[in-house]
Amino acid sequence: MEINKERFGVEFIVRDYECDLQGVVNNANYQHYLEHARHEYLFSRGINFVDLHNEGIDLIVTRVEIDYKYPLRSRDRFVVKIDIQREGNARLVFIQDLYRIPDDKLIVQARVTGVATKNGRPVQPGKIISMLGLG
């Protein structure tokens, strides 16, 4: 699989506290990386996760699928690449792939489904969809 250099990406370096006693990044931390990359992606489109929350609109993850292909270790550099798709009326799907830098080795593939809720109830996020160019 080749990296599409056009896709939005966020770069990271592994911090030692993110590694567990197996000496590799703990599985849960990949969800942290993926979340941070999504929020940066949204921000690049003018969508601020926290501002939305303060307006009563929450972007909520309803499902994650993550395939762990190869472990990251201390000080490894990597990039999380993101695509976004609509699924039905209400759901957004983030396709997120994580590659080690500089050898482009595929580390993790993820598919993260989300919805927008207003005061706890799902809403169709028209404005968000349009800001994401999916409208």
Residues designated catalytic: 20
Identity of the residue, 30 or 99, whose beta carbon is nearer to its own copies in the bound complex? 30
Identity of the residue, 4 or 44, whose beta carbon is nearer to its own copies in the bound complex? 44
Longest dimension (CA), the chain: 45
Identity of the residue, 27 or 89, whose beta carbon is nearer to its own copies in the bound complex? 27
Bin 127: left if φ > 0, else alpha if -120 < ψ < 50, else beta.
Answer: alpha
Q: Which of 3, 4, 11, 27 binds its own copies (CB under 8 A)?
A: 27
Supply the DSSP symbol for 86. Answer: E
What lies within 8 Å, CB to CB, of 49 at 6+ separation is 39, 42, 43, 59
Task: Verify binding: residue 85, its own copies, rule CB under 8 A.
Answer: no
Strand-pair partners of 111? 65, 95
Interaction site with its own copies (CB under 8 A): 15-17, 19-23, 26-29, 31-32, 35-36, 39, 43, 48-50, 53, 58, 60-68, 71, 73-75
